[in-house]
Amino acid sequence: MRSHRGARLALMLPALALFCAACGGRDSAARELTIAVNSGVEGDALRAAAKDYAAERGVRVAVAEFPYANLFEKELLDLASRTGAYDLILLDDPWFPRFTAIEPYLAELEPLFEKRGQVGTDEDFVKTSLALCRHPYETGKLYAIPYVGNSQLYFYRKDLFAKHGLRPPERWSDVLAAARTIRAREGIAGYVMRATQGNAVVTDFMPLFWAFGAEMFDGSGQPTVNSPEGVAALKFMLELGRESPPGYVSFNADEVAAHLLQGMAAQSINWPAWIPAFRDPAKSRVLGQVEITTMPGEKRPGQAEIGNWLLAIPAAARDPEAAFDFLVWATSPGQMRQSARRGNPPTRASLFSDPELLALNPSYAVQLKSLVTSRPRPRTPLWNEIENGLGIFLSKANSGELTPEAAMNQANDELVRIVARGQR
C-alpha cells in the first residue's frame, strides 16, 4: 500500500508543481502596478519610492514617465476611455476638476479607507492641500491624496536690498520701487518674470491679480477679468516688465531661474523646486544672497498660487485595492519624509518642522506659511482652456500688441465664450 501511495504521490507532484507555477504566474501578474508620472523631481521621487515598495512589499511598480506638456493628455485619454492602463496617476491639481466634475474618472477613496477600517486621511495633512483632493472643492468626496506641497514663493536679493536700504518686499509697490532702485544703481534687471503664452504668464499674473482685489468669476460664474481691479493688475505687471530683462515676454521658469542664479536679476516669483539650485555652488553665483519669503500683497494680503501634485486611482484601475495600498504607503509620514529628502515639499504639516528636513531646507517655515495661506486656481473643468485663453491676451499686453484695457476686455470675451461652450 505504501509503495502505491508513494507512486501516486510521485505522479501527482509534477502536476502539483505545474499548478502552483501557474498560480504563481497569475499572482505575479496581478501583483504589478503601473503609475503615470511627470518628468521632473516629483516623478523622480515616485520612481525611487516604487523601488522601495517593491523591495518591501514584493509588488513591482512600473513607472510611465511623460513630459509635463503631455501628461495631462495621456492621463485624460486613459481615464476617458477607461482602458485601465494606469493603476495610479500623479496629477497637477488644476487638472483635478476635469477628472472629477463632468464625470468621476477617479476612484472614491473613502470606501477604500473603510475596507481597511479607517475613517479617512489623518489630520496631519495641510488643509489647503487636502481641499484640492475633494469634489466639490474642500467639502466633497475624496478622490486623491496630496503628494507634493508646492506653492509659489518670492525670491529676492537680500544683499542688494540691504546695500540700498530697501525694506523686504511686503507689498507689490515695494517690489516695483526696489526693482527701479536696483536697476538704476546696479545695472541689472530689478525683476524678472515669465510672460510666454499660456500657463507661464497666467501663473505669474495670478498673485498680482488677487493682490489687486480682482476675481476671475462673479457669483454666478461669469468671467470678470476685465474689472477695474483686473485691469489695474495688468497695468502693474507691465510696469514690472519695464524692469525685467529684454525678451522676458518669451521667458518660462528656466529663464527666470537662470537670471536669478547668475546674478542678472534681483527679484522674482518661483517654485520650491528651484531652491536647491540657489544653494549649489556649481549652479549659483549668488550663494547666500537670495532670501525666500511669502507672496507680497497690495489691496489684499498676498496669496501664492497653490500647485500641489496629487496621487489618485483611476476609476477603471485593474486592482484598486492594491493601488490604494501603494497610495497610502507613499503618502505615509515615513515615505513622505523620503520624498522630501528627494526634493519634494511635503503636504504633511509635521514634516515642515522635522529637524532633519529643516537642516536640509531652512526655508521650510516660509514654505509652510505660503502653503497654508495659498489659494487654488479656479476649480473648473474648463481651466486648461481658460488658462490658455487668458494667457494669450496677457502675453499680447506684455509684448505691447494690446493695451491693458483691450487685452482684458478681449480676454473676458474669450472666457465668456469658453464658459458658454462648457454649459452646452
Rg (Cα) of the chain, in Å, rounded? 25
So what's the pLDDT on residue 289?
98
Say yes or no to pLDDT of 358 above 90. Answer: yes
Nearest to 27 by CA among 71, 72, 65, 59: 59
- The dihedral region occupied by 130, where left means phi > 0, alpha psi between -120 and 50, and beta the remainder, is alpha
Half-sphere exposure of 282 (CA within 13 A, CB side): 1
Say yes or no to pLDDT of 153 above 90. Answer: yes
pLDDT in tens, 258-289: 999 999 999 999 999 999 999 999 999 999 99
So what's the pLDDT on residue 36?
98
Q: Is residue 197 part of a domain?
A: yes
Last-in-domain residue among 368, 389, 409: 368
Residue type, 222: Q
So what's the pLDDT on residue 5?
38
Largest Cα–Cα distance in the chain? 105
Is residue 223 within 8 A of residue 419, CB to CB? The reply is yes
pLDDT in tens, 173-208: 999 999 999 999 999 999 999 999 999 999 999 999
- What value does the mean pLDDT take over residues 352-376? 97
- What value does the mean pLDDT take over residues 399-409? 98
Nearest to 374 by CA among 287, 306, 422, 328: 306
405/292 same-domain check: yes
List, as own/partner pairs, every contact residues 25-31 make where C-beta atoms lie below 8 angstroms and the sequence separation is at least 24, other chains included: 30/319, 30/322, 31/58, 31/59, 31/60, 31/322
351/256 same-domain check: no
Categorize the per-residue pLDDT at 423 as very low, low, confident or very high, splitting at 50, 70 and 90. Answer: confident
So what's the pLDDT on residue 12?
37
So what's the pLDDT on residue 381?
96
What is the C-alpha separation between 190 and 194, in angstroms, rounded? 14
Percentage with pLDDT > 70 across the chain? 93
What is the C-alpha separation between 190 and 125, in angstroms, rounded? 37
Is residue 325 within 8 A of residue 87, CB to CB? The reply is no
pLDDT in tens, 289-329: 999 999 999 999 999 999 999 999 999 999 999 999 999 99
Determine the angle formed by the axes of helices 172-186 and 228-242, rounding to 10 degrees.
20
The residue range of the domain holding 204 is: 153-306+377-422
How many domains are there within the chain? 2
Q: The whole model's pTM is what?
A: 0.91
203/341 same-domain check: no
Lowest mean pLDDT of 21-35, 59-73, 134-148, 376-390, name the range.
Answer: 21-35
Strand order in the sheet with 144-148: 60-66, 32-38, 88-92, 309-312, 144-148
For residue 166, the domain's CATH number is 3.40.190.10
So what's the pLDDT on residue 252?
94
380 or 17, which is more confident: 380
- The dihedral region occupied by 64, where left means phi > 0, alpha psi between -120 and 50, and beta the remainder, is beta
Is residue 93 within 8 A of residue 42, CB to CB? The reply is no
139/39 same-domain check: yes
pLDDT in tens, 39-93: 989 999 999 999 999 999 999 999 999 999 899 999 999 999 999 999 999 999 9
31/140 same-domain check: yes
390/270 same-domain check: yes
Q: Is residue 3 part of a domain?
A: no
**Cα dist. 373→151, 292, 308, 370 in Å?**
9, 16, 14, 5
321/384 same-domain check: no
So what's the pLDDT on residue 424?
79
